[in-house]
Amino acid sequence: MVKRADAIVVGAGVVGAATAAALAESGRRVLVLEQGVPGGAVSGASLACIGTHMMDEEELPLLTWCCEAWAELDRRAPRFEYNRCGQLRFLRHENERRSAETWIGIERAAGLRPELLDPAEVQAIEPGLTGPIVAATWSPDSAVVNPFLAVRTLLDVARSGSADVVSGATVTALVTRGGRIAGVETSLGRFEASIVVIAGGPWTQRLAATADVELPIVPRKAQCLATVGTRPVIRTVVGACKAEGGVDAGYTQIQQAASGQVLFNTVLEGGVTATGSPEIVPEVDRAFVRDSVDTLLFLFPALAGLDLLRSWVRYEAVTPDDRFLTGPAGPEGLFVAAGDGGTGFVRSLGMARIIRDRIDGTTPPCRDDLYDVGRFAARAAA
């Protein structure tokens, strides 16, 4: 096993896998250390929608770049069920129309092509969506991927460069020497590298603290349900029109996997923002199950009677402004890429690119200052 590498990436979720691929492609010997199995934490539990719709306005250039990078990865390595199925965001009430129109205006100004559809137009795209919605927005370029296969594909890209991936290696502390990073201590012993990237999702702040780096990341509870597999009914990613207050005001995402399982991550009455420890993974809330099933059947009444198969809870890593912390942090050679705000799958390729550009001193394709690790401390001091 390699005990020394050019760069160590802590965590083999989608962010770590993408970072390893980016660094290996630029010629570095990379070592990925994962405490569990690749994709086994938040990433594998994701609904993995790849899109720009109703996201952070300032991040639209980066999100657009990320969507194109995912499409490009699919052209190079079509092994992760990339499906450009489009995304609908339904409106239950007339008073949501203004919000939908505002989002459409913002995205069109950024060169994207969302539309507002009436129920008949919605049914032409999504015939099973027969519930009494008043309208829906349509973002034709959104896609979904299989999250496990996407992580595996990125790690394959990394390995075809010169990366090693070690599962079951818990990084317990960062090692510094003379004020710069020198490696990591792990459950398998010490590994040395002059560059360490922590892509540890909701565990990132704990490891960073071992080098006296404080990160404002909070774990936020996200819940999901899956039915048994059924005939193809849902063609797109179906979500609720984003209300003011974002996730706190309620959130819905429904889609059908290639396996035929209907997956939904639906809370219209709030309740997804409970915080907790990523180690303590509780059951999903009863109210969440009720709201989710109600919403699914409101939209797709023909799915009544479909059995639920499983549920799961994960803790996403959230920062005060819902944007990643990506870039150098603390001692020279230490980098962080975490704090996904619940949409880290789509943004992972962009975060990996920013890390690579920061290390190489090259220019990133989009603004990277939005993700400065020190931005909250700088704002507090101002």
Ligand X SMILES: Cc1cc2nc3c(=O)[nH]c(=O)nc-3n(C[C@H](O)[C@H](O)[C@H](O)COP(=O)(O)OP(=O)(O)OC[C@H]3O[C@@H](n4cnc5c(N)ncnc54)[C@H](O)[C@@H]3O)c2cc1C
- What is the 8-class DSSP label of residue 31? E
| Residue 265 lies near ligand X (rule: CB under 6 A) | yes
In the complex, minimum distance from the CB of residue 81 to ligand X, in angstroms, rounded to a whole number? 14
Query: Which of 28, 314, 323, 356 touches ligand X (CB under 6 A)?
Result: 314
| Residue 208 lies near ligand X (rule: CB under 6 A) | no
3-state secondary structure of 179: coil
Tell me, residue by residue from 325 to 344, as one string, x for binding to ligand X by CB under 6 A and - for no binding: -------------x-x-xxx
Q: Pick the closer one to ligand X by CB: 246 or 301.
A: 246
- How many angstroms separate the most distant Cα atoms in the chain? 66
| Residue 170 lies near ligand X (rule: CB under 6 A) | yes
Contacts of 68 by beta carbon, 8 Å cutoff, 6+ apart: none
In the complex, minimum distance from the CB of residue 265 to ligand X, in angstroms, rounded to a whole number? 5
Contacts of 184 by beta carbon, 8 Å cutoff, 6+ apart: 8, 10, 33, 171, 172, 173, 174, 175, 190, 191, 193, 196
Looking at the DSSP bridge assignments, the partners of residue 144 are 49, 83
Question: For residues 39 and 12, what is the distance between their CA atoms, to the nearest angstrom?
Answer: 6
| Residue 21 lies near ligand X (rule: CB under 6 A) | no
Query: Which of 293, 345, 352, 355 touches ligand X (CB under 6 A)?
Result: 345
| Residue 45 lies near ligand X (rule: CB under 6 A) | yes
Q: Which stretch binds ligand X (CB under 6 A): 13-21, 72-80, 120-128, 289-297?
A: 13-21
Cα distances from 263 to residues 5, 138, 240, 257, 346, in angstroms, run 39, 20, 15, 7, 18
Q: Pick the closer one to ligand X by CB: 59 or 126.
A: 59
Q: Which stretch binds ligand X (CB under 6 A): 73-81, 113-121, 201-209, 358-366?
A: 201-209
- What is the 8-class DSSP label of residue 109? H
Q: Applying CB under 6 A, which residues contact ligand X?
A: 10-16, 33-36, 40-43, 45-49, 170-171, 199-201, 203, 207, 222, 224, 253, 265, 314, 316, 338, 340, 342-346
